[in-house]
Amino acid sequence: MRNLPRDSRSQQGATLIVALVFLLVLTIAGVTAMRFSTFEERMASNTQFRNQVFQQAQNELRAQLLAFNTNLANRAPLLAAMAFKGSSKTAEEVTALKNVGLPATSGATVAITPITGTQSASNTVRYVQEKPCEDGSSVERFICIDFHMEARAELDSGTYSWQAQGMTFQNNK
């Protein structure tokens, strides 16, 4: 039997330790990569859900506008909103109107039935104001009535989108 130098005896098993450390580093890198990919998948899914509810809310607003313009019977929510235009408001309600950019003369909100079948938390319309029409065509014959409409679409997962749009109707004086 041949005697090995003392240095080689002290290194017995070092390869196993180096291999185990290398395996541990690779395992940590793999787990980190899995976490990042799962996180990115969730982000992509959330973006898709947000886009879906945004499109649903916008679709609801367009459907409501089309319904209002189709016939006079569909304008019942607008007439109901106009009935509340002279209602008295508390200081908090006036502040809330100013915070969303509406004049203090705005009326109360009136609920609107969803048209598109969207899971909606709330669809509302609010009378804003009457004013002379800005087109200047027939200032003496017509008056423009401004409304503020809101739609909120929501998914079962809790993702929601709240959208608002203004609209103006021209009426005879």
- pLDDT tens for the chain, 173 residues long, are 566 555 555 566 788 888 999 999 999 999 998 888 888 888 888 889 899 899 988 998 999 899 888 888 888 888 888 887 656 666 777 677 777 677 766 777 788 888 877 666 678 888 888 888 877 666 677 888 889 898 988 888 888 898 989 988 888 77
Residues paired with 172 in a beta bridge:
142
Q: How far is CA 70 from the centre of its chain?
A: 27
**If we measure between CA atoms, which residue out of 154, 143, 151, 172 comes closest to residue 49?**
154
Query: What is residue 109's predicted lDDT score, i.e. its pLDDT?
Result: 79
6, 11, 77, 150 from 111: Cα distances, Å: 90, 81, 7, 10
The full set of domain ranges for the chain reads: 6-172
| Per-residue burial over 60-88, b = 16 or more CB atoms within 10 Å of its CB, e = otherwise | bbebbeebbeeeeeebebbebbbeebeee
Query: What is residue 11's predicted lDDT score, i.e. its pLDDT?
Result: 60
